[in-house]
Amino acid sequence: MKVELSVWERLWLLNNALPRQGKVTTLKIVQQLIADLGLSGEEFAQLGVEETDDGKITWSQEKDREMGPKEIEFSAASLMLVADKLKAMSEAEELDLGLVSLYDKFVGEG
C-alpha cells in the first residue's frame, strides 16, 4: 500500500512508531522502513534541515509545502507495525490532534 507522508509525518514515524527491539523478522521490517522514511541528502539540502541546540529538528515549512508529500510503499507487515502503534496510543489516550491524520492513513477513520 502506498501512503503519502509529509516530512513531519515521516520524522514522527521514524522517531516514535518503530520498535527498536524485537524479533529479527520485525527488525528487518524496521530497517526497511528507516530507509524508506528517512530524508535523502537532496531532501535535507532542499529543506534546509537543521538540529537546534536542544536536539529538535527544524526545516523550511515553505520548501516542505513546495515539495509536497512523498509517496512511501508499505508492505502489509510494515503497515501493521505502524497501525498497531497508533491503535495502542489511541487506546491509551495518548494521541494528540497532530496524529489524527496519521491514524486515518494507517488505521482508518476512527
Query: Tell me, what's the pLDDT at 7?
Result: 94
Query: Tell me, what's the pLDDT at 99?
Result: 94
Query: Tell me, what's the pLDDT at 110?
Result: 57
Residue 58, domain extent: 2-106
DSSP string computed for the chain: -EEEE-HHHHHHIIIIIS-SSS-HHHHHHHHHHHHHHSPPHHHHHHHT-EE-TTS-EE--HHHHHHH--EEEE--HHHHHHHHHHHHHHHHTT---GGGHHHHHHHT---
Show the low-confidence residues of the chain (pLDDT under 50). none
Query: Tell me, what's the pLDDT at 5?
Result: 96
pTM for the predicted model, two decimal places: 0.89
Average per-residue pLDDT for the chain: 93
Query: Tell me, what's the pLDDT at 33?
Result: 96
Number of domains in the chain: 1
